[in-house]
Structure 1
Amino acid sequence: MTTKPLPWTLVALGLLAACAPEPEKPMEKDAAANAAEIIVPPAGNAEANAASARAEAPGIGVRLAPEELTLVQPDGSSRHVRFGMARADAVRMLAGALGSPIEEAGNQDCGAGPLGSAAFRDGLSLYFQDGKFAGWDLDGREAAGFATAKGIGIGTSRKELEAAGTVDVGETSIGNEFMMGALSGLLSSPAPDGKVTNLWAGVTCIAR
């Protein structure tokens, strides 16, 4: 004799099947899916972003002076690289503003005696005598933006020099040389519109 399930029995079995929990997914698959959604930027991008941030940050300015170089900080404060400072300290301070020297050398044939030098970017060179910072020289071929507190720099006219102070101009073996107190340099022409092409102060090794 065959027994057939009653209709209400079939309905109960259907309800139990619908309420049964679905089998859990393996943990490995979920972890793999989450890992696939994590985007890791290439290391090169991080380095480029850091370099860009440094480039956009305010830099340290360098101001020329007859007896020193002044470092103007982004907050407006100043640090002084004075003549007589130890070579290592002067180079380190300038490197913080201009980067490491592009060349360091020594010259035994300078008029003031043996001098060491450190050339930085944009045509600025430091000179050292007996291990001490003794002078600086600015080569105008780089068209740098260095200037004194009165705005004297490469490209300043003779007329502007004379408006800032007493200037003596004369023709020497190296060109139209001028002196303005302890600051010296060359002019492209002795005329009022002649431009400053070189500047220096202190002990240097100017070939004459």
Structure 2
Amino acid sequence: MQIGMMRGLIAGFALALLAGCGPTQEPDANKSIVFQGNADELIVPKAEPANIANVAEVAEPAVNLAPDGLSLVLPTGATRHMAFGMPRDVTTRAIAAALGSPIEEGDNQECGAGALSFASFRGGLGLYFDGGKFVGWDLDGRDGGRFATAAGVGIGSTRKQLESATAIRIEDSTLGVEFSAGDLSGLLSSRDPEGEVTNLWAGTTCIAR
């Protein structure tokens, strides 16, 4: 073999070695991540943080009001009903899954129905317990809680909307303009058609009269 050809082969081999030992290119954080192995390539698109936050927000269970308890609406659309008489710990855990831990818990010895235990959640929702059983709930509009019945009745609903959803009875009581619709009760800001619901409750509660 000629000397010139030998030198050319050696130089080419050296350049190849240098290229192989060069710095590894860092992956672009804005691009998809590619996993390689014995199987075909698996490409996982990079998730946007905003999308992740939106998914988490949508996935939160929702709480619906009912005359005989509360309903937990899951992200799948399935509903779990917590009827009066269910154990306190089961009811509290279920509501906490949607609203977070209770902001206050304790006992009230001065309720009209006798001593009751309670758990207060954000949004103005309060749960009441007697003998370790769920017996009632109440709701006020102070914390802007967006809870409603299956018929759409909630804080801020007008008397006109209320009467279009169900038959009600209205009376003046020591609490104000009080209404009842079966086992659901509450207060209106006035008797006018545009008077708004300010409070709602059902079951055994600690409403002071």
Q: Same fold (TM over 0.5)?
A: yes
2:8 counterpart residue number: 18
SS of 1:93's partner is helix
Residue in structure 2 matched with residue 157 of structure 1 by the alignment: 158
Which deviates the most, 159-168 or 143-152? 159-168
* Higher-Rg member (1/2): 1
Deviation, structure 1 residue 80? 0.6
Superposed CA offset, 1:114-149 (max 9, x none):
111111121111111111101011111223221112
1:76 aligns with 2:68: no
For residues 13-162 of structure 1, the aligned pairs below 5 Å read: 13-20=3-10, 21-22=13-14, 24-25=17-18, 30=22, 33-34=23-24, 37-38=26-27, 52-162=53-163
User: Deviation digits for residues 20-58 of structure 1, max 9, x if unmatched?
Assistant: 23174599x65xx32x725789xxxx9x67961543434
Write the distance in 2 (CA, Å) between the matches of 1:66 and 1:142: 21
Q: Which residue type is aligned with residue 161 of structure 1?
A: L
Pair 1:53–1:195, CA change in 2 (3 A): closer
Task: Normalising by structure 2, report the TM-score.
Answer: 0.78
**Rounded Cα–Cα distance in structure 2 between residues aligned with 1:55 and 1:25:** 49
Deviations 1:52-86 (A, max 9, x none): 15434343222111111111223322111110110
Match of 1:4 in 2: none
Q: Secondary structure of the equivalent of 1:19? A: helix
Identify, as 1 or 2, the structure richer in helix: 1
- Taking structure 1 as reference, are residues 52 and 81 closer, same or farther at Cα in structure 2, changes over 3 Å only? same
2:39 match = none
Query: Per the alignment, in what secondary structure is the counterpart of residue 14 of structure 2?
Result: coil
RMSD: 2.7
Q: Percent identity, please.
A: 49
In 1, distance between residues paired with 2:181 and 2:54? Answer: 40
Q: What displacement does 1:97 show?
A: 1.7
* SS of residue in 2 equivalent to 1:22: helix
Residue 204 (structure 1) shift: 0.8
User: When the two structures are superposed, what TM-score results if normalisation uses the length of structure 1?
Assistant: 0.79
Q: 1:25 to 1:103 in 2, by over 3 A?
A: same
Deviation at 1:192, TM superposition (A): 2.1
User: Aligned to 2:91, what secondary structure does the other structure show?
Assistant: helix
**How many Å separate the matches in 2 of 1:167 and 1:76?**
29
Aligned length: 189
> Against the structure 1 CA distance between its residues 175 and 60, is the aligned structure 2 distance closer, same or farther, given a 3 Å change threshold?
same
Q: Secondary structure at the match of 2:180?
A: strand
Amino acid in structure 1 at the alignment position of 2:95: L
Go from structure 1 to structure 2 and tell me whether the alpha carbon gap of 1:19 and 1:161 turns closer, same or farther (over 3 Å shift).
closer
2:142 counterpart SS class = helix
Structure 2 residues not aligned, in runs of 5+: 31-46
Distance, in Å, in 2 between the alignment partners of 1:58 and 1:172 is: 41
Does residue 199 of structure 2 align to residue 207 of structure 1? no
Deviating more after overlay: 56-65 vs 133-142: 56-65
Check 1:168–1:87 CA distance in 2 against 1; reply closer, same or farther (3 A cut).
same
